[in-house]
Chain A
Amino acid sequence: MRETSPRLRELLRGAVHVAPLLLGAAPFGLIFGVTVNTAHLQPIAAQATSTLIFAGSAQLVFARLFGDGAPWLTLVLTGVLLNLRHMLYSASIAPYMQQFSRGWKWLLAYLLTDEAYAVVIGHFDALGAQAPLEKLAKHWYFFGAGSALWLVWHVSTAVGVFVGGRIPESWSLDFAVPLTFTAIVLPNLRDRAALGAALTAGLLSVLAFNLPFKLSLVAATLAGIAVGMLLDCKGRS
């Protein structure tokens, strides 16, 4: 009998590790569908955002702003600002990616979402900077996590866009979104610096919630990072 190939094993392992996060992503797709329907955004265009943008919060805000009649420039700037965090994910994961071929880098970069990042960076950090990731077929692990999320995201947004209007608002399914993020963040608040970053970003984002164009998100995130780094430096000296 042949042993399971390491590629298949890593593909499945990645998909299994991302599975709990899929539970948060699926209702997000349905909520997106409800928003699209109330905003009268063309269903085909709405579904295309899942492939072309592939970032839940940006897609949701896009549909909401479109429904509010926001101008083109506001739509684009908000999306571009909201997704800026992906550049930092890219920088954070890049040192591990150097062993993989160019084609794999492009493919895996496309799949670098909040959820995939959270799962993959946790796994790679645990393996350590010196691990032979290519030899261990860890690009397949990343691909398993990323593509499982891609599939579930496309199915859930399609269901949301085409039947989402019928899900009653009283089910409060949109609450699954902050719950998923809570589950990702809380276990990472292991020291004073991390706690300071989270509290600063969270509180500032609440205080500034009525700034236009969702600028509160960007401002609060930057302030949270600054406070975290400051406390980190202090802890070292």
Chain B
Amino acid sequence: MSAFGVWSAILVIGSVTFAYRLSFIVLFERLSVPDWLRRGLRFVPIAALSAIILPELVVRAGVLNLSPLNPRLLAGLVAMAVAVKTRNVLATIIGGMLALWLLQALLG
């Protein structure tokens, strides 16, 4: 792809992303958000992030791996347990990474 292609793609994605961020804060500020939409909004980050998390645990290089010996799946479950128990981001990341390294060393 040409340098123009790369830079124009970056600029278009960047402008649209900024427009999304501005949308309700600045551009449609006079529009009140209807009640059903407001209640639905709390599911947005939950759904968007869950859709990113699960494939990261069970899909590697385009292949589905549901084996109970899949280190990423097991380390992900460990991290979920830590997250529920501690509600602490740092503890969850450290717990999950340690579990992954340990499992990779044991199962790798």
Contacts and interface: CB of A to CB of B under 8 A. Distances in A.
Given A206-B64, A224-B51, A183 B14 contact: no
Interface in A128-180: 170, 172, 175-180
Interface of A: 20-21, 23-24, 41-42, 45, 48-49, 52-55, 57-58, 62, 66, 72, 75-76, 79-80, 83-95, 97-98, 102, 105-106, 108-110, 112, 114, 117-118, 170, 172, 175-189, 193-194, 197-206, 209-210, 216-217, 220-225, 228-229, 232
Interface string B84-108: 1001111011001100110010000
The A interface is mostly helix, strand or loop, or mixed, namely helix
Contact of B48 (A45, A76, A189, A201): A201
Sorting the interface of chain B by its residue count into under 10, 10 to 19, 20 to 34 or 35 or more gives: 35 or more
Contacts of B6: 41-42, 45, 66
Interface of B: 1, 3, 5-14, 16-18, 20-26, 29, 33, 36-59, 62, 64, 72, 75-76, 79-80, 83-84, 87-90, 92-93, 96-97, 100-101, 104
A223 B55 CA distance: 16
B25 A185 contact: no
Contacts of A90: 20-25
